[in-house]
């Protein structure tokens, strides 16, 4: 038995995620405390992430807690984790993925197809913005920041006709009834790592990684490794309108990616690849090959 402290953001979804890992470790006899923290990403809500430092703003304070020894591990939504971790930090575990797709949420319209011309749809994701514009160039895409509950409240207060959120967060918080429609990946390709939880530790703490090993989900880890390799190869951050999604079809890992031009609505470059993937290195190589195809198609 060991004693661990989990660093976590204090949003309802982040706490659910940390408590989920806490329960898994407790089932194995470990004693686990939570260290709740407010990150810069939580504090800055009046500007898009791409303009204030990227999604790394959600993990920096948690990494400081790990470095200072105040926490032993940090639980993240993997799509919020930068593609390259700082020296001394490792992604020690990836849990089984929840639904990776995007969800259409609206109080006014039961179906995506019912949105009238010029309807206001909220998202601050450049990926979602370019994909929405490709599907419906007639819509008005407006910024939407804040945690999940804040975004839903802004919708309920009438600021938007609809918003687009990750289905995983809604399902984890018991809010699946808010989903009007799930976008299939053929319509809205998810972000790299979407729906997956990643656990970060210090590389000098092998005992923490060993305690987490029973919860690692290998097929999810291979999928997100391929997706994140696309993003890394493209120099990806939240300032890049990039999507990447992988799934297993039998023994083959199927990987799709898309890049959009934020300055030219409807301009999308798509690429795909597949292979028999047995380890993280092979997954990364597949991601790099698909990124090369994106660049060959005009993505930059």
* Residues carrying an active site annotation: 80
Other Cβ atoms closer than 10 A to 114: 13
Tokens matching residue 253 = 């890992």
Q: Are 143 and 121 in contact (CB under 8 A)?
A: no
Q: In what order do the strands lie in the sheet with 268-276?
A: 242-249, 252-260, 268-276
- DSSP-based three-state secondary structure for 67: helix
User: Distance between CA atoms of 22 and 28, rounded to whole angstroms?
Assistant: 10
Q: In what order do the strands lie in the sheet with 89-94?
A: 31-37, 3-9, 73-77, 197-202, 89-94
The string of DSSP letters for 164-179 reads: EEEHHHHHHTT-GGGE
| Most distant CA pair in the chain, distance | 59
């Amino acid at each position: 038995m060991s004693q661990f402290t989990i660093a976590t953001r204090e949003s309802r979804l982040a706490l659910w995620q940390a408590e989920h890992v806490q329960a898994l470790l407790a089932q194995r006899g470990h004693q686990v405390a939570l260290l709740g923290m407010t990150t810069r990403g939580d504090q800055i809500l009046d500007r898009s992430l791409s303009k204030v430092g990227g999604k790394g703003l959600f993990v920096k304070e948690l990494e400081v807690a790990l470095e200072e020894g105040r926490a032993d591990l940090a639980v993240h939504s993997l799509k919020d984790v930068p593609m390259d971790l700082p020296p001394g930090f490792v992604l020690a575990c990836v849990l089984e993925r929840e639904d990776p797709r995007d969800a259409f949420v609206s109080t006014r319209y039961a179906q995506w197809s019912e949105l009238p011309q010029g309807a206001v749809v909220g998202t601050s994701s450049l990926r979602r913005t370019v994909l929405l514009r490709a599907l419906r160039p007639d819509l008005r895409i407006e910024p939407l920041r804040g945690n999940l509950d804040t975004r839903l409240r802004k919708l309920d207060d009438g600021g938007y006709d609809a918003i687009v959120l990750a289905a995983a967060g809604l399902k984890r918080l018991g809010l699946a009834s808010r989903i009007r429609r799930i976008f299939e990946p053929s319509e809205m390709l998810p972000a790299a790592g979407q729906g997956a939880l990643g656990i970060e530790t210090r590389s000098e703490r092998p005992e923490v990684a060993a305690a987490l090993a029973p919860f690692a989900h290998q097929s999810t880890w291979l999928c997100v490794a391929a997706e994140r390799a696309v993003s890394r190869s493209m120099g990806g951050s939240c300032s890049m309108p990039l999507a990447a999604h992988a799934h297993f079809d039998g023994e083959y890992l199927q990987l799709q990616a898309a890049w959009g031009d934020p300055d030219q609505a409807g301009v999308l470059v798509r690429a795909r690849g597949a292979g028999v993937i047995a380890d993280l290195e092979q997954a990364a190589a597949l991601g790099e090959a698909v990124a090369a195809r994106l660049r060959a198609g005009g993505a930059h």
